[in-house]
Amino acid sequence: MSRQGLIEFDAVLAIARRGSFRAAALELGVSTTSLSNLISALERRLGVRLFNRTTRSVSLTDAGRNFVDQVAPAVATLHDAMLAASAQQESPSGTIRINAFPTAAREILAPLLLPFLRRYPQVHVDLVTEGRIVDIVAEGFDLGLRSAELVPSDMIAIPVGPPRRFAVVASPAYLEAHGMPETPPDLMRHRCLRIRLPNGALHRWQFERVGQPFHIDVEGPITLDEASLARIAVLENMGIGYFMESDVREDLEAGRMVRLLADWTPPLARLCLYYPNRRNASAAFRALIEMARRSFG
């Protein structure tokens, strides 16, 4: 949605919300210098300072707090009106911003997002993948994509994607040389590819049997934080890997990898697209939600 005519107000609100000119500039899609000049010009026109600025922090002045308190509701109303007007257009267009785990994005890209873009060529999807869980409203996203159990309770959630499972795999050559583990504790005698999480912690491999979950801290020659790198290492006979099934399905079907411990990796919670309640959603947003419901409902 175009923000032309509201950019000064959006700028003030974004800086107040983010506490940073740089973060606000990224959200608004402008340079930090342009944003600083915009605020300086507004402050000159108003005759008051809205922000206290140092090299390390940004905070609202008393006048700035009063300005934000009065402006924020009016700006929200104006944006709702603009969304309502744009929703009347026949052909969906504009940008939809989605935040997702990388593995989740890979699972819906081909079955949902690419067909959606082919059908609505005037729509642009901005898909941001990261491991951390974000507040999609505060970060300026239209939608989030996470496992069902991670969706905030105040969000509307739509199940998407195929059934999901973890997969423990190795190459045929590795298994021929080292043997096949029969139970998860057997992994402690094998070379395993360790996984580093986005927060820096090492991932403990998750298993479940007869409804009882448990975790194992594996050991191995290398630690990786990207599934595509781990896949290469497995194919090069480096050791046993732990993946989302969707990331190695083609390798399993082609015989390049062998699945291990399948009875210990039951189905996981579905992925969900989620979003806050929207009274006046854009045509593009409504079209994507409708396609998701039809494709995976």
**Does some domain include residue 153?**
yes
pLDDT score of 85 more than 90: no
Whether 222 shows a pLDDT value over 80: the answer reads yes
Q: DSSP 3-state assignment of 224?
A: strand
pLDDT the model gives residue 2: 38
Judge whether 2 and 83 are in contact, CB under 8 Å. Answer: no
Question: Tens digits of per-residue pLDDT, 171-196?
Answer: 999 999 999 999 999 999 999 999 99
Higher per-residue confidence, 235 vs 152: 235
Q: Indicate the SS3 state at residue 45.
A: helix
Mean pLDDT across the stretch 1-26?
Answer: 79
Q: What is the DSSP letter of 203?
A: P
Residue 199 has pLDDT above 90, yes or no: no
Does residue 46 form part of some domain? Answer: yes
Do 179 and 259 lie in one domain? The reply is: yes
**Structural domain span for residue 210:** 166-264
Q: What is the mean pLDDT of residues 267-281?
A: 84
The CATH number for 66's domain is: 1.10.10.10
Give the rounded percent of residues in the chain with a pLDDT score beyond 70: 94
Burial 260-295 (b: 16+ CB within 10 A, else e): bbeebbeebebbbbbbeeeebbbbbbebbbebbeee
User: What separation in angstroms does the CA of 120 have from each of 31, 82, 95, 205, 288?
Assistant: 30, 21, 11, 40, 10
Amino acid at 3: R
> What pLDDT is recorded for position 99?
96
Q: How far lies 73's CA from each of 76, 78, 91, 141, 215, in Å? A: 5, 9, 30, 20, 48
Final residue in a domain of this structure, among 46, 62, 86 = 86
Is 57 inside a domain boundary?
yes
291 and 150 co-located in one domain: yes
| In a shared domain, residues 203 and 247 | yes
